Structure formats: C-alpha cells, structure tokens
Amino acid sequence: MPRRSRQAPPAPPPDHTLFEFTREYFAELGATVAQNAPADKSRLDVLLPEELATHFGRAQLGLSFHSAEPESERELVAHGSRVFDQMMALLDRQSAFTVLRAPVRHRGGEALLTAVRPVNASVGRLRMQEQSRFLFGLTWRITYRADDKRQEIYTVWLDEEGERIAQSGEQSAAADALDLSQMMQDAEPIAPERNADGEVLPPKLPPMTQLVRLAERARNFAVYHADVRCVTHEAEILPRLYKVLNRLTTYYQQQIDEVRDSSDPDGTRRRALEADLQRKLAEEVENHRLRVQVELLGYVALETPITVAEMALSNGRHEVTIRVRQDRYSGVIERPACYACGAQTADVALDRNGHITCDACAHICSACNELLCATCGVEPCPVCGAESCADCGRTCWACGGRACAEHISICPTCGDAVCHGCQVTCAACGERQCRSHLRADSVVGQDGAIELICPRCAVRCPGCQQFSAHTGVCDASGQRFCANCLVTCRGCGRTVGPGFYHRNPVDGEPYCTACVVECPNCHQVATSLLACDVCGSEGCASCIARCVTCGRPVCEAHGVAMLDCGHVVCNRDLVECAICKEVVCPACTSDCAGCGMRSCARHTTACSQCGQEYCVSCVGVGGLCETCRLVEKRGKVVAADHLPWLDHPEAGPIASHYQWRKAGNLRYDIYFGEGRMASVAVVVVQRGADGGRVVRVQRMSALDRLRGMLGL
C-alpha cells in the first residue's frame, strides 16, 4: 500500500501589530522602508542608514513575519527573535529619555480673550504671557512568561501633576482628548542650550523627585493594565495545562496498571511511578504559571507651549484674579473652575464671598437678594421652601434645616430656635412650641381627632392617670377629673368621678353614692330596693325577683326559681305537670292543644304528621295526635277554593293538587289533603286574634308517611 505524503501544517497568519510596530520603528529612526509591502503584511524590506547598518551588521534587512520556514535571506521578526532583540537593545541605548517640543499651531489671542464672559463683574487688569508645560510619556515593556513568552509595549501619559491623560481612541477618553500619537509626530527635538564656553547644557526638566513620583504612578497604571491582560492570557494557558496534565496522568496510569503483582510484590515500583507522576505534574503546573515583569524602557518629556491670560474681576466688593490657559498646539482652552462643583465655566460670576461660580451653582437669597455659590449656599425653608443664606436664615435645632425669619421662633419650653414645621400649636392655649414637648389629649376632640396640648395645659387625671385639657369637677368630692372619667348620675343629675358612683347591674347606668342603697340581704349596692309582695322583706333586684307570670316581687321563701330557664315564679302561680306532678315554668310551657293540660318536657312529644307538640296522653299509636287521627276520615270536607290560606307562598300553590279535609283542637286547625298515588299534604294553622297563621306545610309520599308512623 503506497504511503501518503504528509503535508506541512498551514502557516499561522502574521502578527499585524508587530508589522506596524516594525515599520514605524525603522521609519522613525530614519531608515527607508519599502512601500511595496504585500497585502497580508508577511514581509518587509528596509534600507538602513550607516548608524543602523553598524548596529544590525548589514545595510539592508529582509524581514519576515511568518513563523513557518522563512526564506534564507530574510530574518524572522517575532517576540524573542534575534532581530527583535537587536531592535529592543537599540531602544534601550538610544531612547531611554527624549525631550521634544510641540509646535505652535494656534496663534493670536482672540479665542483666549473671549473664552470667559463675566456675568456680574468687570475686567480690571489683563496680562498675557507665554509659558510651557510638560507631558510625560513613559513606555513600559510588559513580559508575560508561562509555557510561552509574550511581550507588550504599553505607554502611559501623565501631566505635571501626575494625572493620567486620556488619549483619543480610548473608550473612556473625552471628546477633546489629545491625539498624542499625532502630537509625537509633529513634535521636534529641542535644540540643546550651550553656555558661554560652548558646552551643552542639560535640558530644563522638573526635579528628579517629581520624575520618580511620576514614574511610580505610571507603573501603577501599567501594572493595572497587565492585571487585566492576565485574565485573557490565563484563559489561554489553562486548556494547554489541562491537556498536558491529562496526557501525563494517562501515560503513568497505564504504566502503573501494567505492573504485575508477581514482579512488584511489595509495591515499590508502583509507588515510584506515582511519585514520579506527582513530581512531573508539579513541574508542569509551575512551568505554566503566569509570571509578569514590568520594565521601564524609556520616557518622553513633551513640552507644549501655552498662553496664560490673567484677568482681575471686580464686582465692587471683591477682586479676584482668574487665569485662562490655551494649549497653542491643540487649541484647547482651560477655563477657571467653579468653586462649588469644580467644573470649568465660561460664564463667570462672583458670589458674595468672592467665589467663582457657574450658572448651575449660583443661587440667590430670597431675603437679601445676594448671589451665593452652592458651597456657601442657600437652603430652602422647611415650611415655605424659600431659599435663604446663613445670614438671613436660622438653623432649626429640631430638623437641622435653615428656615426663613418668618417661619422660625423660640420655643417657650426649651428656649431653642425651632422652625414652624417642627412646632405645633397647643389645642388648649394656642401657644406654639416644639412637637416633642406636647402631649396627646386622652379625650378625643369633637371632630374625632386627637388633640395635642402643652405641659401647662395638660392635667393628669387622678382616675385614669392620663393627661387632658378637657377636665371637670366632681360634685361629690370636688376633685378634677378628665371628661372620660366623669359621668352624670341618672338619679339626681350630678356630675361625679370614679369612686363616687356605681353602675346599675341591670341597665349599666351610673348612679352617684347618694342615690344608691345597700341591700340588707347580700350587702351589695343597688339603686333601689324591692319589697316582697307576700312578707314585705326588702332586697335588691338580685335578692327580690319578680314573678314571670304576674310580675309581683317575691323573696326566695315565696317564689321558686326554675332550674331549666332561671325564671322566678311566685307560689300562687306555680303550675304542675298533669302526668308527673312536677313543677313547670308557666312562661316556658303551654297548655296541650288536645286536652288543655300542662306537661313537663319529659311528657311532651311531637305529632309525626302535623309536627306540633302535645302531652304524651294525646299522642297515640303511630305517633299521631287525636286531631290527625280523626281528620283523615271524619274531617270536614273543604273545597280547594274556600281554603283560608290560599295566599300563603308555600301552602297556596299546592291547594289545587289535593282534596282537603279539616279538623281542629284547642289551638290548631289541621288541613289534611289526599293526592295521587297515596301522597298526602298537611297544613297546620294556629288560631289567633288576627284569624290565624300557617305554622307548618308538609308534603309526604305514602312511604314517608309510613316511616313517620313507625318512628323511622
């Protein structure tokens, strides 16, 4: 079988970022870079000047950015390659420090003079002078080492105060951010100054301590940038580490499984393989650990020309000098900052204290009409909302707000200045004071609202121990009680307080002590005494009860209290059961409708057909009363249209479906109706002074009637 030829893997794409860096690198150093570079940026031809040819050892360089088999006459440019190291070495030697000066592109002072518009002040003195300031660009080489090596060039730009300068193109850059790359291209080296002897003088730079401080601050930004990039690098390293660890674990586990027990009876070989595996795993973890090195390659001091205009603003009370700066390279104007918010402002106003204020932070006191900034400021009154300054308003000791003069007063209780929003008027005397000093009146007002009263008007009621301004005098004791505790005697009409009246146990009405008596039997207080109608002994309503039948008051000796209902019956109105002679309550029992005699509950039963109660003597076999037994056969026939209860909502609709017979007893008229299929209907009418009323309507089938007779 013929062997297939193994094809080489496709070459990875070239690094375009490294290509651009290399082209700008040689162009900046004065080399001639070929313009016919391929579109894929894989090759670059460079013609070197004499100085660079000495450093690189040849006058022309053929550079390749491909990692797959570069041509013999071309040098590979990659991180860590020989040509790249030579390029970095030249930077280390030549570009550690550079001083440049940006050109002047904006001339004239019209924009500078119109950059500020005074609002309430006039411009007195005006002086313009040319100055310069430095911008520092510190370039760092960040090296990421793990199982591979990566390098990154990162530049941090700072101003003289150490604040980072956002470059155009960054996500957080402002709209007027500097294009530092273009500025570096436009900048020119500063010609060295010479002394009288012709010796070159060092450039005028800030002190070394300031440069060191700037370098330390720039390093912090570079370290933060490296930390952010480490997240991406570690995400790329971890899959490779897992692949290597998995390969090692699989290989050694296979070796351990192939060791037989006969050749390694004590397990020495297995333990050696396991120890070797752990050692190699630890080595691979350590080899894949990401290490970062931040190294300063060099820094640039970029001098930018600026024009400073000093103006003296005066409002008749204060004179303040402001400075307006213009970057003569970028044309950016730096205006004075607002004293309150710190933002630059074009419309400049001077407040009462001489502070520069923008429109957003300017406030006017409603009392003195003075202009103040937000820091010095005005505060709204908690009551009316009018803004006032510290001189015109007063601070409330309760809420801390600044109230206007009309809505703050001295509390008469504590003596503090408190706004009217934190004060309340006493409902009794009308004096205004702190809310915390007032008490809630225990007596609810006429409109149902709880009133607040001051300590001078609040009286503690001796009855309920609550405070109230609604008080009165007890006619019995002369003490002052609140309106909740005072009552009006139902007997004499006097106003009395707690302890000087009693409530009638019958109706709960109050009576003063002068209108009540003591029961001689139970010694309880009562509003009046009753005398027994038989023996004349007196007692309260609990001891002398009235007969439920005749209403006469009787004592315990001349009346009987029923155990079942609690009614009291005098001896002459006692009623006995006609069957067992047991005393029964005449109010709770009635005469039997059949025989007219009284019966107790044990000797009273209901008819199974009409449902009315009779004594057991009047209810016979089958549970039917005498009237129900007679009505079916001996009852008087009544035509359906002559029934007296035709207008009854329940009995009237069934009248035409049955043939009716009527029978009566001492209390009831019972109408018995016979229908189809042996069904029956019963209508019971109780006679009365008004003619009678229907008390029962019952429809039964033959089976239901049989069950009722059998008691089922």
Look up residue 657 and give its amino acid: H
In terms of domains, do 611 and 693 share one? yes
In terms of domains, do 564 and 468 share one? no
Integer CA distances (angstroms), 226 to 232, 515, 606, in order: 10, 100, 104
Q: Are strands 117-118 and 347-350 parallel, antiparallel or unpaired?
A: parallel
In terms of domains, do 612 and 706 share one? yes
The CA-based dihedral angle spanning residues 259, 260, 262, 267, taken in that order and rounded to the nearest 10 degrees: 50
Kindly state the tokens that stand for 498. Answer: 């707690």
Closest CA to 574 of 553, 595, 558: 558
State the DSSP code for 348: E
Residue where a domain stops, chosen among 42, 75, 94: 94
Residue where a domain stops, chosen among 291, 310, 343: 291
In terms of domains, do 445 and 465 share one? yes
Q: Are 666 and 596 in contact (CB under 8 A)?
A: yes
Q: Are 444 and 405 in contact (CB under 8 A)?
A: no
Does some domain include residue 636?
yes
CB count within 10 Å of CB 201 equals 9
Which DSSP string corresponds to 602-645?
A: GGEEE-TTT--EEEGGGB-GGG-BHHHHHHHHHSEEE-GGG-TT
Please give the Cα distance from 337 to 116 (Å, whole number): 11
In terms of domains, do 237 and 281 share one? yes
List, for the chain, all residue ranges whose pLDDT scores fall below the cut of 50. Answer: 1-9, 70, 173, 175
Domain containing 536 equals 525-573
In terms of domains, do 551 and 620 share one? no
In terms of domains, do 629 and 549 share one? no
CB count within 10 Å of CB 15 equals 18
Please give the Cα distance from 335 to 209 (Å, whole number): 29
Look up residue 526 and give its amino acid: A
Reduced to 3 states (helix: H, G, I; strand: E, B; else coil), residue 156 is strand
> Looking at the DSSP assignment, which residues form a beta bridge with residue 125?
none
> Looking at the DSSP assignment, which residues form a beta bridge with residue 142?
152, 294
Q: Are 252 and 275 in contact (CB under 8 A)?
A: no
In terms of domains, do 647 and 682 share one? yes
Does some domain include residue 45?
yes
Reduced to 3 states (helix: H, G, I; strand: E, B; else coil), residue 20 is helix
Please give the Cα distance from 64 to 41 (Å, whole number): 9
Does some domain include residue 622?
yes
In terms of domains, do 630 and 685 share one? yes
In terms of domains, do 496 and 530 share one? no
Closest CA to 392 of 382, 379, 411, 375: 379
Look up residue 215 and give its amino acid: A
For 182-290, strand residue ranges (E) read 188-189
Q: Which pLDDT value is given to residue 398?
A: 85
Does some domain include residue 197?
no
Residues in the chain: 712
Q: Categorise residue 601: left if φ over 0, alpha if ψ from -120 to 50, beta otherwise.
A: alpha
The upper half-sphere exposure of residue 271, i.e. CA atoms within 13 Å in the direction of its Cβ, equals 5
Largest Cα–Cα separation, the chain = 164
Kindly state the tokens that stand for 192. Answer: 């060295």
Q: Which pLDDT value is given to residue 111?
A: 82
Tally of domains in the chain: 5
Q: Categorise residue 294: left if φ over 0, alpha if ψ from -120 to 50, beta otherwise.
A: beta
Does some domain include residue 385?
no
In terms of domains, do 695 and 617 share one? yes
Give 180's contacts (C-beta < 8 A, 6+ positions apart). Answer: 135, 137, 157, 165, 167, 168
The CA-based dihedral angle spanning residues 638, 641, 644, 645, taken in that order and rounded to the nearest 10 degrees: 110
Does some domain include residue 176?
no
In terms of domains, do 534 and 507 share one? no
CB count within 10 Å of CB 390 equals 14
State the DSSP code for 294: E
Element (H, E) at 672: strand 668-674
CB count within 10 Å of CB 44 equals 21
Does some domain include residue 619?
yes
Does some domain include residue 668?
yes
Q: Which pLDDT value is given to residue 6?
A: 45
Residue where a domain stops, chosen among 513, 535, 563: 513
Integer CA distances (angstroms), 408 to 172, 232, 265, 422, 434, in order: 49, 64, 100, 9, 11
